[in-house]
Structures are given as C-alpha cells and as structure tokens.
Chain A
Amino acid sequence: MATQVSRAASAVPELAPEREVRWPQRTKHKLANGLEVILVESHTIPKFHGELFFRSGNAAASARAASLAEMTATMVRTGTTKSTSREIEERLRGLGADLSVSAGQDTSAISFAGLSDYAEQLLQLVSELAREASFPAAEFERERRQKLEEVKLERTQPGFLAGERLRKVLFDRHPYALVSPTEDQVAAYSLDQLQSVYRDFYTPENAILLLVGDFDPVKMQAAVEQVFDSWSGKKPASPDSPTPPKPTGRKVYLVHVPGAVQAQILCGCHAITRKHPDWIKVGLTNSIYGGAFNSRLVMNIREDKGYTYSPRSAVNPLRQYGFFSVSAAVRNEVVAASLTEIFYEIDKLRSLSVPESELTDAQNYLTGVFSMGLATQSGLLSQVSTLALNELPGDYLETYRQKVRALTPGDVLAASRTYLESANMQIVVVGDREQIEPQAALFGELKVFDAQGAQLS
C-alpha cells in the first residue's frame, strides 16, 4: 500500500510536430483489352490484397431481376470449365488465400488476399473465375436454397429491416430502393439470367484490377499482363433509371417486430455522392454531428443520457445518389426522447456556427483517421479503391488533408443547412408496436409495416 500518492503532470502534453504523411506511388496501366490495372507497394507483411472490380452491380441488373448480380457473384466460385467447387476451395487454401465474390448496387467484385510467394497462382485463379465460371446446375440449386434461408433470416434482424425500409422510402422506384430479393424472386432466378449477367458484366473493359502489397511492381505488372492479356469483352450499356423524388416532410415508418426489447431508429434524407464538390464538407459536418465517438450525438444520447450503446451518423455514397443517415438502437421507453435529441443536434448545427476549437478537433480527427489507411494493406486498398471507382483526381490522397483543414465554420453551417434536411428527414423505427407506436407518432404521419413488408396501417 502506498502511503504517498504519486502525482502525474496535470497538463495534457502538447502534440509533437507532425510527421509527413507520404502516400505510396500508384502505378497505373491499361491493357490493350481495356482492363485498368493499379498497383501499390506495401511491405507490412509478406502478403498482398487485391480487388477485381466490375463497374456493374445489382442496379444495372435490376430490369432483369432483383439482386441478380449478387446471386451471380455467389455462383462464380462454385465451378469453372477447369475446376470443380472443391478444387477451387482447396487451391485457395494451398495458396494461403482468402477470396470472396460479391455484388453491391454499383459494382461486382472478386476480392482476394494471399501470400506473396504464390501471387501469380492466385491471379490465375482469379482470372479463371472472372472468365470461365461454368454455373453448374446442382451448385445453383444448392446456392438458391441457401439464399432462400438467408432472405428469411435477414427479416429477423432489426438493422436489416430498418435499412431496407429507409431505402424504399428514399429511392422509391429507383433500383437503389431494393436491398434484398423476396423469396419468390429467389425462386424465379434462372441459370440463363445469371449467365447473361456474367457475360455482360465480367469483361475487361468494365473492370479495374487493384493490387496492394508486398511485391515488386515491375514483376507484378508482367504477371498481370501474362494472366489477363488474352481476355476480351466490351463494356455493357448502362440502363437508365427513374429519378427518385426527394421525400418532403417528416414521415414515420414503423416496422412491427412483436416481442422486440429495444427500438432500432434509423433516420435519413438524400445527400450527395463522392464526386460532388461538397463531399469533404459534408464529411466534416457528419463527423461533428455523429460520425465520431467524440461527436455531439454520441456525447448527448450515449455519454450524457445513456439511451443507447452505439449511435452513429453517416453519409452513404452510392454512385448516382448519396444519403445521410442517423441510427441508434434505444430502449423502448426513450424512442421519443432519442428522436428529440437527434433533431435537436441537427437543428443546432443548422442554426449556430461550430466553435473554432470544435472545428479544429474534427479536422484533426478526419485527417488523422484518413492517414491510418496507410498503415495496412487492406486500409490502403480501400482508399485506393474509393479513388478508382469514383474517378477522383489523382492527387486526392495527397491533397485531402489540406482540403479538410481549409474548411471554416461557415462551410459547416452551409453544409448542415443544405444536406442535414431536418424538415424532410424520414424516420424508420423497428420495434414492438405496442411499446413504441404512440412515441413514434409524435414525429409525423405514421405508417406501420410488418417484417415481411406488408402495410398494417
């Protein structure tokens, strides 16, 4: 037992001079067949990470069937003209590799990571999947059944139900309104549909190959050319989609889950895409509002009031449209109290200038976290992917910090007023109707749905 309490220096140490953030060189090539190749060295571990992106996803396939690009992606690893499903999985294991094939609204992608020792073999396998998938009928029936169970299961998750309803409300008849197929839609998929998506989307003109990791870029470029040079295929036409009307006026959508012991709140409104010149302003505004642990919303409804564990806000960029969202899972008794604070903090940002010190804190946060992408291969890959997919300027990484630091309280006020549309915010609450409906109804015209999507009132 100490008889005498030691004291710490009571003053917070100042920050030392900043070390320069130096982003690694990105080597870009375009093969004769149109494939864009971007290579970045990162020698943190003897591995490399890669993505083969195709610039078409569920939205581009939506006229054919719901979430069709995703089902196609699921099938790609289940067989090629050269290898069975089991052979593919065992080859991957033998290369020390992880691989997934997936599709979102705007892209389809083969994502992979493996030991540098076996880089060329892994590229060969990726190429085989991208060019020679064979869509075996038996594998399809199994994956279809898996998908059916998956779509039933996701309807039992509050987070999924909230996200699904918000998308419908914000995007109406645009393909972005749809986040998952119905059971009937899954049952109606045909192998022909999947193969046509594969033929149309998985082409070199439609693709970007990104590789980040422990390799010599000259040798890697040679390997890439050797593996992918003989591939050919055109860019698919991109179908037009109806412009979604921006919902006006606050409205409330309650998704009724009997027996829920908590309410999942998700509010949202239209915002902007990554390419928009205001993107960085909105990003900074979001980080002050609810995008960081130290943000106003988290300090208010978590650290002060204890309503929730994980409140967060985000700007969600899709290729054609973006949206702003606020989420919190709160106890049933405080749905109205939480919504009141969510709007209070939005309205405050829209009314009053952010103090300079708070702005500086947020600028430091955003620039610091951005640079952390440098420290790992997967972080770097994610930064470089964002640039490539959104066709951002070549010096985006290098100039981001200066752009964030140049913003003023006036910029945040303007961005809040333009994009945090308090009056038009759409409110989704997932929970037990008996417990939360009167509270939710205080915030606007209320519609109630069940977990299957049927309107109850």
Chain B
Amino acid sequence: MKPLQIPVEHKTLGNGLHVVVAPDSTAPVVTVGVYYKIGFRLEPQGRSGFAHLFEHMMFQGSENAAKMQHIKLINSSGGVLNGSTMYDVTNYYEAVPSNALERVLWLEADRMRALKVDDENLRNQRDVVKEEVRVNVMNQPYGGFPWLDMPPVAFRNWANAHNFYGDFADLDAASLADVQAFFRTYYVPNNAVLLILGDVSPADAFALGEKHFANIPAGPAPKFADSAEPKQSEERRGHVVEKFGTLPAMAIGYVMPQRRTPDWCAMALLDQALHGGRAGRIYRDLVLEKQLAVEADGGIDDIFGYNGPTQMTTRILHKPEIASDETLAAFNAVIHDVQEKGITDTELEQLKVKWRSDYFATLEGGRGGYMPRYGLMHLLACFTLFDGEPQLVNAILDGFLAVTKDQVQGVARRYLQPENRAIVFRKPNAVSQEAA
C-alpha cells in the first residue's frame, strides 16, 4: 500500500485569498472551485434559507457579466457548473476543457468583486427556490427526512436548529439590501479559497489566480456567531407527519465528537461498522435478519465538510405492522451489542480497507456526479478554510487507519448514549393511508 501523494500547492494572496492548486494532466480538463466560509448554519436570524437563496443570486449577474452570462459562458466553453450551500461553506464550481481556465477565473473574480443584481432577479430566484423546496421536500414522500426534520429536535442554538431551506415567509421577506449586506460581510477574498485542479501547471495557475483576484479588496474579517450547543442531558424526541409515504419512519442522531480528534476518527470507523451498506450491522440486523425494516441507512454526512455541531444519523423505514417501539428496541440492541462486545479484528481490518477505498472514490468523483475531482476540491477547500492545511488531504487517512478496536468500542460507549441523541418519528397520516 503506497502512501497517498497528491501534489498540492498553496499560496495566500495579499488580500487574504487562499489559492490551492492540484495539478493532474490525465485529461485536458480543469476543475475550478471558489468556497466561501459561510453556510446556512450562520445565516441571519429571521432570514432562514437566506444563504441558499443568496447562492442562487450569485448566478444572476456581476459587474461585467450580466444575468445568464455566467451560465452561457461556461456551457459554451464546453463546461458544466453549479453551486451548493452547506452547513459551514458555500461553493461555486466549474469543470471545463483546460483551454477555458482563464475565462472561468475571470468569471469567478468578477462575481467576487461585485454583484450586480436587481429586484427582478431576486423575485425570479425566490420563485425558483420555492419550486426547489416543493420538488425536494413538500411534494416528495419523506422529503427533507431527516436533514430538515432533525435539527429543530436535536439542537437548541438557532444556528443549528432552524430550517435551512427556509420558511417561505422568510424567503419573501429577503430584500436586495439583505443580499448586498450578506455579500459585503461574507463574500470577501479573505473569507474564501480558490481551487484550481487538473490540467494546469502550478506556476500558470498561481499567475492566473494573481492576475484576476489579487486586486479585489479585502474586507473586515467576518464575525461569526457562536454555534456551540448547550450541554444536552436528556434524550430528545420529535414527531413529523408524513403526507405521501406509506411506511412509518424514524431517524436517530447522535452528536459527533469534535472534528480532528482521535474520537472523531474512531467514530468514522464505528459509522462504517454500523452503516456500511449491506455488511453494516444496522442493515444486517434490522433488514436482513430480523426483517423489521425496509430501509436502514445513514451515517456521518460529509465528515470533512462541517465545522460545528453535527450528528451521525440513522434513517429507518420500517414495516407498517411493526411498532415503532419494537423497531427502536432492535436498533438499541445493535448499539448495545457493539458497546458490550466491541468489534472483531477481522471486522476492523475490513472496515479500514473499505474506508480507504471510499476515500479514494471521494477524491475522484464525490458528490458532484459528472464533475471530475469534486471530492478532492471539496476536501482541499474544507481543510484550507477550517484547518489552514490543504496538505491534510494526503495525511488525514493515517489517523483513521490507526484506530484500534478499543477506541471503536470506547466511542460507542461514550457517544452512543440516550442523553447524546435525538429521535424523529415520521409517520404517515391516517388520511393518506386510507387513500392508498
């Protein structure tokens, strides 16, 4: 097994913008990302959903590229683009043939420098976002389950507990002044990282980065609200009505250890032991052996990509004739078993092999589907913004591969406790059961 040696170079421009370059000439394609260190967790109170609405506004026009130009210029260069809003970061990214690199950097620099949007753009994207929420949440069976259902049950700090997609009243209340204020506060070069990956030399990449971004003025360092949670001392439960689906569901979330600690590494392997597909203990026990559940999955979502309170979450859809209590008891028994007996040597070995393999897969593709190196970009961005160390992408695997059986059992005992968890029950309502 060779150690990982992805070439990574990192510089910081005078205005505080981090530039990270990872060259690879396998294909004549470059992936470019700009990450801002602000996500939906710390959006303004009274403006739920604003960070995501704002992300849409970043495609609506900047100083020298009018509405539709961003999309048109990338597509017509042979590339694809998108953006996404996460807990603690928002990203904008493109994959293009490498001859379009400078054009992409120009576009990203233009919208980092100045947004040029109007009320009409805001109205338009507010409508688009509402349809996004309807198609993904309100008009789908189990829409938003559990990622939108869990936070208000599990957390007490508004930052962690509010509706991240946004209440429609809050979306309606958002104004153009809010858009510009958010932009001025968080979208400054000293709160961002530019990533250039793929078919380019580091020298060229840094020169182009300097050329287009260096004269964007820095802003005051953003002040971030405290997202710490008050200490939890009891199990928390909540209930949500399922409007369309036919099966009762539940989600169980345990608050995670601090990131980049030995406990965090051990939890990642415990997660693999519990949620690793059909070999995972939860699926094996609840679906394959006891046959109470129809679906049982989950885990730590985007383990490298958060910078505040988060959970490892199990999502279960169970058979209608099985009571929720019985399903939960079976889940508890799986947890109890790993707390009492730990895991075997063979199991640990398998978990590590699978973890390593999954890590490579993340680097190459990851969440972006047809977006080469999305995962590598995402990890480099998070390691830069949260840790100041993009090189962690090569080193971080070691911590996970060093985890012992005792550590896995230890975190199971300490973290998988009722006073560290929250449960959301999502049950079909009687009307929809009759109609079905």
Contacts and interface: CB of A to CB of B under 8 A. Distances in A.
**Are A and B co-members of a single complex?**
yes
Interface of A: 1-2, 5-6, 8-10, 12-21, 42-47, 77, 85-86, 89-90, 92-98, 113-115, 117-118, 142, 145-146, 149-150, 152-153, 155-158, 257-262, 264, 292-294, 299, 302-310, 329-331, 360-362, 364-365, 367-369, 371-372, 374-379
Contacts of A367: 78
A299 B75 CA distance: 13
Contact of B141 (A15, A21, A157, A368): A157
B134 A262 contact: yes
Interface in B1-50: 1-2, 24, 26-29
Nearest to B121: A303
Interface stretch (B98-106, B231-239, B252-260, B395-403): B98-106
Interface in B402-436: 432, 435-436
A14 B135 CA distance: 38
B78 A8 contact: no
22 contacts: A1-B220, A12-B103, A17-B99, A45-B360, A94-B349, A94-B354, A98-B277, A153-B246, A157-B140, A259-B244, A262-B134, A264-B139, A294-B72, A294-B76, A303-B67, A309-B131, A309-B135, A331-B127, A365-B76, A371-B29, A372-B95, A375-B198
A263 to B, nearest CB: 9
Given A90-B350, A308-B131, A309-B135, A368 B243 contact: no
B68 A364 contact: no
B71 A293 contact: yes
B63 interface: yes
B129 interface: yes
B103 A13 contact: yes
A39 B428 CA distance: 49
A403 to B, nearest CB: 15
A8 B357 contact: no
Contact of A97 (B138, B349, B357): B357
Given A262-B139, A377-B364, A379-B370, A9 B243 contact: no
Interface of B: 1-2, 24, 26-29, 63-65, 67-68, 71-81, 95-103, 106, 109-110, 113-114, 123-132, 134-135, 138-141, 198-199, 212, 215-217, 219-220, 243-247, 276-279, 284, 287-288, 291, 294, 317, 319, 346, 349-351, 353-354, 356-358, 360-361, 363-365, 370, 372-373, 432, 435-436
Given A156-B244, A293-B71, A96 B354 contact: yes
B78 A153 contact: no
A10 to B, nearest CB: 5
A18 B99 contact: yes
A405 B74 CA distance: 18
A379 B372 contact: yes
Q: Which of A42, A149, A258, A374 has the most CB of B within 10 A?
A: A149
Contacts of B276: 93
Q: Which of B1, B220, B353, B435 has the most CB of A within 10 A?
A: B353
Given A45-B361, A96-B354, A149-B246, A368 B77 contact: yes
B139 A8 contact: no
Contacts of B129: 309
B212 A8 contact: yes
B161 to A, nearest CB: 24
A331 B131 CA distance: 7
Given A19-B99, A142-B288, A294-B72, A89 B139 contact: no
Nearest to A432: B139
Contact of B64 (A8, A304, A371): A8
A20 B28 contact: yes
B396 to A, nearest CB: 16
A153 B215 contact: no
Nearest to A47: B360
A356 B373 CA distance: 33
